[in-house]
């Protein structure tokens, strides 16, 4: 190639590259994520960052998500409103925090004596739950996705041993969602607060007991330094789904492939988060027992029985709610719970009981 032709070709190529660069930059969307958690809190804080990174990576950098932890832009309990109003593009939290918006929302996160992690996503995908989830959150301008699950939670940390329902009456106890309503039904003085605030309240005596998640996350927050009686099972939350709420207008403005990126990032994270909780809860419990003197204790049967009655009262109120959508959500949940629960007698429950008889766990 002659020198003049080479220079001409190079000039065209350089000009083309210069013109192309702004077009690529204009195609990049930058989204702000707010979360209900301290940054990198083991469990939900880590999951939130993973979700932000996964959306960015799966989009090939066309949708950049920057995470802001609780308190950086809005308080943890303010993330729902921030996304609803467009102050932020998406949030990471749990449905259990939004009962003041509608009691129907609470069923999408956890339910006393309700769905396990795999059953919860089964209701969403195969039992009509997602359509109801979309309808409810659509009232607030939010497109919701489940994006993780803590698995079975614990009933929590107690300063003193408990033996009967009478021991619980008047007890100052931290919980959230429908679990808190169940506990209120039997006379507990339930308070809602963040995980770090629960530590301070236990330390000061403002709380007698409380639950947050499970051994992995709870040990990071230090509850075992104050209370050693750690009660199971967490009948108020047989599982607790984590969610991503996206501003509906921002979501609708995405091209179809980026909408699929957001959906896929959320759904692909569900099992990763759930199995990480289960694995690290198991390891953390060993450390708590062996090194910190924590005493895991089973809830007395009489407490479980009375809690079960209280839970049915709470769910019954939702089935009779004045809001037709809340009623439809509750009826859908109960129908799925009863259907899949009946089958689990023979399937998962049967397998777990058989393993326990042979291996002792």
> Residue 40 and residue 24: Cα distance in Å, rounded?
32
Q: pTM for the complete prediction?
A: 0.90
**Domain hosting residue 80, numbered range:** 29-150+239-278
pLDDT, averaged across the chain: 93
Total number of domains in the chain: 1
Q: Is residue 244 part of a domain?
A: yes
Does the pLDDT at position 70 exceed 60? yes
pLDDT of residue 33: 98
Binned at pLDDT 50, 70 and 90, residue 27 comes out as confident
What are the DSSP calls for 166-203, one per residue? HHHTT-EEE--HHHHHHHHHTT-EEE---HHHHHHHHH
For residue 8, being part of any structural domain is answered with: no
Q: Would residue 231 count as lying in a domain? A: no
Residue 254 lies in a domain: yes
Query: Does residue 346 fall inside a structural domain?
Result: no
pLDDT at 192 > cutoff 60: yes
In a domain, 292, yes or no: no
The verdict on residue 342 lying in a domain is no
In a domain, 266, yes or no: yes
Residue with tokens 């339910």, as numbered in its chain: 111
CATH of the domain at 260: 3.40.190.170
Nearest to 247 by CA among 135, 127, 85: 85
Residues above pLDDT 70, as percent of the chain: 93
């Amino acid at each position: 190639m002659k020198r003049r032709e080479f220079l001409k070709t190079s000039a065209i190529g350089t000009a083309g590259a210069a013109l192309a660069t702004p077009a690529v930059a204009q195609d990049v969307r930058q989204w702000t994520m707010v979360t209900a958690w301290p940054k990198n809190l083991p469990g939900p804080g880590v999951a939130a960052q993973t979700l932000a990174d996964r959306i960015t990576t799966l989009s090939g950098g066309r949708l950049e998500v920057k995470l802001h932890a609780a308190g950086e832009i809005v308080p943890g309990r303010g993330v729902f409103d921030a996304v609803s109003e467009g102050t932020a593009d998406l949030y990471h939290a749990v449905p259990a925090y939004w009962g003041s918006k509608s009691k129907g929302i609470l069923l999408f996160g956890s339910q006393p004596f309700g769905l396990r992690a795999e059953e919860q996503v089964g209701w969403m995908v195969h039992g009509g739950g997602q359509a109801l989830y979309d309808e409810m959150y659509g009232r607030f301008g939010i497109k919701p996705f489940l994006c993780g699950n803590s698995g079975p939670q614990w009933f929590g940390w107690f300063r003193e041993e408990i033996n009967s329902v009478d021991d619980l009456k008047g007890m100052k106890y931290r919980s959230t969602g429908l679990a808190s309503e169940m506990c209120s039904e039997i006379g507990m003085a339930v308070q809602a607060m963040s995980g770090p605030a629960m530590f301070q309240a236990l330390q000061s005596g403002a709380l007698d007991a409380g639950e947050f998640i499970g051994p992995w996350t709870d040990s990071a927050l230090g509850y075992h330094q104050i209370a050693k009686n750690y009660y199971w099972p967490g009948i108020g939350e047989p599982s607790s789904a984590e969610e991503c709420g996206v501003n509906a207008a921002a979501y609708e403005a995405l091209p179809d492939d980026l909408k699929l990126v957001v959906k896929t990032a959320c759904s692909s994270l569900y099992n990763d988060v759930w199995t990480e909780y289960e694995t690290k809860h198991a390891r953390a419990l060993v450390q708590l027992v062996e090194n910190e003197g924590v005493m895991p204790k089973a809830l007395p049967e009489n407490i479980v029985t009375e809690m079960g009655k209280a839970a049915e009262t709470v769910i019954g109120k939702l089935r009779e709610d004045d809001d037709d959508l809340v009623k439809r959500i509750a009826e859908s949940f109960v129908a799925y719970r009863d259907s899949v629960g009946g089958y689990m007698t023979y399937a998962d429950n049967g397998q777990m009981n058989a393993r326990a008889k042979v291996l002792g766990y």
